[in-house]
Amino acid sequence: MNSTISINNLSKSYGDVSALKEINLNIESGELFGLIGPDGAGKTTLFRLLATLLLPDSGSAALCGFEMVKEYKHIRNILGYMPGKFSLYQDLTVLENLNFFATVFNTRIEDNMDMIRDIWVQIEPFKNRPAGKLSGGMKQKLALCCALIHQPKILLLDEPTTGVDAVSRSEFWQMLKGLKTKGITIVVATPYMDEANLCERVALMQSGEILSLDSPSGIIANFEKDLYSFEAKDTYQLLLDLRAYPFVNSVFLFGQSVHYTDVRDVVVLSDLKDYLKSKGQDHVEIKQIAAGIEDCFMALSQQNTVQE
């Protein structure tokens, strides 16, 4: 198998906290891969290990065939890494930052313009502005240019869309699609569950473990329970009433509806309706629905907690 990134039993602890627990993962060449999970899932630790900035406690990984620990110098040449915290020089201008990163990698901006042109044209009007004075969306574009200036084969993006508004988020994913056509392997970490659908495959992560690894549609297909959506005028009261129902398995708010699964294999909706009526819920709309990634994540994370 020609995987660009192959990770075997990789573990890393900080004191008593085990941040990554025997992770196994293969990412194919040219893939757009998502690491989806909340803070503390181990996404950043995994990136720092792959970027050869941290040493693992055990396990190994190879990037484009280079061994992560022994051949770290080779890896640094083929890897672009955009950390979660804005890590450019705030008092250098946009252009100076880009020049600096090009020089560090022993190359020139002109030689790599093809790679970054689509993104660069958006920030070029501000090329003489200090990086610290850019808006959030512009900083992100500059950081992406700096990570790409040496034409890496693999790009690691640590939460590029966190704290960014919905418009900039959607633009950022458009840029990633553009980069994918250039053949770069892209690994994106994100806490936004809805962004999973924009990746070819994803690993859902929590507390240093991979809960599930598949295409978004594959993860959804593995959702075991029948899922129902309930709507009523007072959503909060509906939530409380469903939570108190004897056969409840899970009940979660989703926008203005409540998503419900039952412990029984066959859900007796008439019984459930009678129960809600007895609680004074007269106008409840019930639909069976397909699960989304967030439903899957919550179901998997609860199974995982129970097993522990």
* Interface positions with other proteins (CB under 8 A): 37-40, 125-126, 129, 134-138, 162-168, 170, 191-194, 206, 235-236, 239, 252-256, 294, 297-298, 301-302
In the complex, the smallest distance separating the C-beta of residue 134 from other proteins, rounded to whole angstroms, is 7
In the complex, the smallest distance separating the C-beta of residue 56 from other proteins, rounded to whole angstroms, is 24
In the complex, the smallest distance separating the C-beta of residue 203 from other proteins, rounded to whole angstroms, is 15
Which of residues 105 and 254 has its CB atom nearest to other proteins in the complex? 254
The torsion of the CA quartet 139, 145, 146, 152, rounded to 10 degrees, works out to 140
166, 192 Cβ separation under 8 angstroms? no
Strand partners, 26: 6
The DSSP bridge pattern shows strands 257-262 and 154-158 to be: unpaired
In the complex, the smallest distance separating the C-beta of residue 144 from other proteins, rounded to whole angstroms, is 17
204, 211 Cβ separation under 8 angstroms? yes
Which of residues 70 and 233 has its CB atom nearest to other proteins in the complex? 233
Which of residues 139 and 150 has its CB atom nearest to other proteins in the complex? 139
Which of residues 58 and 135 has its CB atom nearest to other proteins in the complex? 135
In the complex, the smallest distance separating the C-beta of residue 166 from other proteins, rounded to whole angstroms, is 5
In the complex, the smallest distance separating the C-beta of residue 237 from other proteins, rounded to whole angstroms, is 9
Distances (CA, A) of 289 to 204, 258, 261, 281: 22, 11, 11, 21
- What type of residue sits at position 129? R
Which of residues 9 and 302 has its CB atom nearest to other proteins in the complex? 302
Dist CA 259 CA 187 (whole Å): 31
Which of residues 82 and 123 has its CB atom nearest to other proteins in the complex? 123
Interacting residues of 287 by C-beta distance below 8 A, sequence separation 6+: 228, 229
